[in-house]
A and B are shown apart, each in its own frame.
Chain A
Amino acid sequence: MASELTFYSKAKQFMLDGTLDLDANTIKLMLVTSVYTFDVAHEVLADVKASPDPEVLAVASPDNGYTAGGETLVSAAVTHTDAPSQAKFDAEDVTWTSLTATFRYGILYAEGTLNGVVDPLIACILFDTTPADVTISGINYVVQWSANGIFTLA
């Protein structure tokens, strides 16, 4: 199935005005259900989690493998090259182990109050562009970033 990553409009401002410091902030990927309606104008996580909260519910017993707020991107880093002249944001792939969940989107956001903005949004991933839900039953689920990074600025 094909996936699609779309930037929230405000994220571009957040990157330019210093609200986002991608290799210093805690960047997380949250799974949300089709209850969420993607809107490129959404700015902060509260816009996504407006009632009814679409985030996949974290269940402790039996553990469904999901933690509220999503998974943190490990080794998130911004690097650059001169040829080609570009900066790249990348991180290790995100893995949920023994996940049991049905979801449609991944929400990439920065956790915390940054430059006065609470949990600014970065991008939204539609995992199946059909579009359709993804249903996972107790197996490992991996979001594998492109070999060219999550995004580049060239």
Chain B
Amino acid sequence: MTVTVKPLARSLREWSLPPDIENVIPLQWDSSVFESRPRSITNPVLEQGGQSLGSFFAYCSRIDLDYKCDVEEPDYGETALIMLAIPEGGDMGDAVFVIGCYVQADWTHISQDLALGNWFFMFGVMRGSSAGTIQGWIDNVEITPSLQITPFMAGPHTQQVTYGALLLTPEVPLWSEGSFIPHGELSLTGSVPNFGTPCADIPCGALILTVRNPAAVWSVPLPMMVGSKVIYSLTLTGAPDGIDDLTIPMSSFQSVVRSGEPSYLACVVPNSVDWVDEIIARPNGDLIIKKGYLLYDGTQQMEEIIRVNYETLQIDRGAANDSATLVGHKTTTATAPKDWTVDGVTFYGLQADGKRRIRAAMDLFLRPADTVYYGSGLTDNFIVGSITYIIDSRSAYMEVTEA
């Protein structure tokens, strides 16, 4: 239904009902129905159980009006025409009932004196669920005095009560139901959920994913070994000093390699005079020993077996010999222990401290923390604690000691 609102007097201002009031049809403000009584209010034809409400504000000390109400089949319990006035700042308890009737066939005049101030006037027509039709009219509304009007909130108030993240908004009751919740009497108390002792540890088994670093090894196919040579190289890295790596010829080296403890390397470089300047230029480099093969086609396949921090240079010069000894240390920890079998075992024994020791051919890939297999049937094994490399022009072997 479309309702056209026509202000009927300067002292009257239509005030819309709250939009969330359901099932209520606004009253019609209409001057066309009663031409002789231009300030009039009527209501639409109601269905059974229907209600019609309307309101306005006025600054006044008195209201005069005419009204009548027709009920075809009177049901005094539910069908009625009412008009009440609520003062500014008041509530339903302060309401003045100007009209409250069931049947009034003839126009009836009524006057109501009020305390001077802003008043909220509300009209309502209700048709009971079991009764017949009802029509109600209000006419000749006179407000005394007629001044500037300021709308104000009347009726139930709402208040938001917060408790942490809990936001509660009391619901506005339906006008038609006549229920009323006085402001200030709604008390909400938040409750802290209790799941037991706060911050209590819940013991559980740790689920741990552990990766095992693989070892990368290589081998030269037997046909390619024909004509190949075992070679060693010594490299002093230059990157920390901003220059190229230096490959230096060496006549021998000795080294002890451990995991978690300092490893040691000493290399003897012949003809030191040719290399000393280049060595001194790389004071922060690493000394790297590689072992590998020079294959028949000239290609090399090398594997790093020792790396230490270069620390000292000692030059020994005599009438016939000139050599330099480079020494370094470094502590590294094995990250990829593996099972590994060694060849060329020439000796194995037991030390005074109960640890086993073997002497075997130089191996490219055995590292501290590996499990070394040796002996008859290769069933004997122990975990490697240290490897001592001894390489010179006459011999090349390693001694492996149990951890």
Contacts and interface: CB of A to CB of B under 8 A. Distances in A.
A97 to B, nearest CB: 8
Give the interface size class of chain A. Answer: 35 or more
A151 B295 CA distance: 37
B212 interface: yes
A140 B221 contact: yes
B299 A137 contact: yes
A59 interface: no
B214 A145 contact: yes
B214 A151 contact: no
B210 A139 contact: no
B211 A151 contact: yes
A98 interface: yes
A12 B303 CA distance: 34
Contacts of A141: 216-218
A17 to B, nearest CB: 15
Interface string B13-53: 00000000000000000000000000000000000000000
B199 interface: no
A152 interface: yes
A98 B224 CA distance: 10
Give the interface size class of chain B. Answer: 20 to 34
A2 B338 contact: no
Interface string B208-249: 111111111111110010000000000000000000000000
Contacts of A142: 216-219
A146 B213 contact: yes
Contacts of A148: 212
B339 A5 contact: no
A150 B212 contact: yes
Contacts of A1: 216, 303-304
B219 A139 contact: yes
Nearest to A135: B301
Interface string B102-124: 00000000000000000000000
Contact of B215 (A6, A134, A144, A149): A144
A84 to B, nearest CB: 11
A3 B215 contact: yes
B335 interface: yes
A146 B338 contact: yes
A144 B301 contact: no
A139 B218 contact: yes
B207 interface: yes
A131 interface: no
Contact of B213 (A3, A98, A153): A3
B221 A153 contact: no
Contacts of B334: 2
Given A141-B218, A143-B216, 10 more contacts: A2-B334, A2-B336, A3-B214, A5-B212, A98-B221, A128-B216, A147-B338, A150-B214, A152-B212, A153-B209
17 contacts: A1-B216, A1-B303, A2-B336, A4-B213, A7-B209, A129-B335, A136-B301, A137-B299, A138-B299, A139-B224, A142-B218, A145-B214, A147-B338, A150-B212, A150-B214, A153-B208, A154-B207
Question: Which 5 A-B residue pairings sit nearest by Cβ, starting from the closest?
Answer: A146-B212, A144-B215, A151-B211, A137-B299, A127-B216
Interface of B: 207-221, 224, 295, 299-301, 303-304, 332, 334-339, 371
